[in-house]
Amino acid sequence: MIQSGKKVSLEYTVFLADGTQIDSNVGEDPLVFVLGSNQVFPALEEALLGLKVGDTKQVTLKAEEAYGPVVPDAYKEVDLETVPEPYRFAGAVLGIQDPSGGVYPIRVHEINEQKAVLDFNHPLAGHALRFDVKVVQVGE
């Protein structure tokens, strides 16, 4: 049974509120994490408590429980020259490396003659997410 501190292996499929599938690991390696270690969204962890191997569950997270709301201050205007030419169109996604080696996506929101408006919000900010999960394994 899933409880705090247990190692959990899950199959999952993630959908937007309109039913668009955005991610899945079904047929691949399961997601493995320790419940309570903040490796997945806390609201998702809470919804998994008490499930057993073989159990399935549908969990919907509000935007605030997932990647958060869209933050208006996360839009920044920059000189057009700072955006590489192949990415100078609305909707382009740039990958910026953070100090820990991860890549953070930044979306081009708008382009005009001299400036670009970049959106530093997570691409899924402002979206509710539905997780269809299946418990594959629960360990120590």
Mean pLDDT split into 10-residue runs, the chain, 140 residues: 95 97 96 94 96 98 97 96 95 87 90 95 95 94
Q: What is the pTM of this model?
A: 0.83
Type and span of the H or E element at 42: helix 42-48
What domains, with CATH codes, occur in the chain? 7-67+125-139 (3.10.50.40), 72-119 (2.40.10)
Report d(CA 113, CA 123) in Å as an integer: 25
In Å, what is the CA distance from 16 to each residue of 13, 51, 60, 63, 129?
A: 10, 24, 9, 10, 5
Report d(CA 99, CA 57) in Å as an integer: 36
Report d(CA 107, CA 127) in Å as an integer: 16
Residue 127: the pLDDT is 97
Residue 134: the pLDDT is 98
